[in-house]
Amino acid sequence: MTLMEQQTIKALAYYLALNYPIVLIPDEDGYWFAEIALLPGCMTQGYNRADALEMLDDAKQLWLQMALDDGMTIPEPEPDKTPVFTFSYR
C-alpha cells in the first residue's frame, strides 16, 4: 500500500467518525428519505427509518471516498452546534 493510499484511508476514517447532521423525512407511502445536507447529493431512501439510516451510512462512505479520490474539499459539521437528526413530517 502506498503512502497516498494510507493517507486516504486515515482521512476516510476521520470523516466517517464525524457526526454529520442527518435529515429524515417519512413519506406518505411509509418510506423514509435520509440526507446529509452538508454533503451535496448524499441521500437515500429506505423501507423504514432503520433501513434509511443504514443505507445513508453506505452513501456517506461512498460520497467521502469519491471526494477524497477527487481531491474535493469536504465540509465538516460544526461541533455541538446542530442536532444529529432532523425529522420532518409531511
Contacts 24+ apart (CB under 8 A), 31-36: 36/60, 36/63
For the full predicted model, state whether its pTM sits above 0.85: no
- What does the mean pLDDT of the chain come to? 88
Pairing of strands 32-35, 22-26: antiparallel
pLDDT category at 66 given cuts 50, 70, 90 is very high
Classified as helix, coil or strand, 81 is coil
Percent of the chain's residues with pLDDT above 70: 82
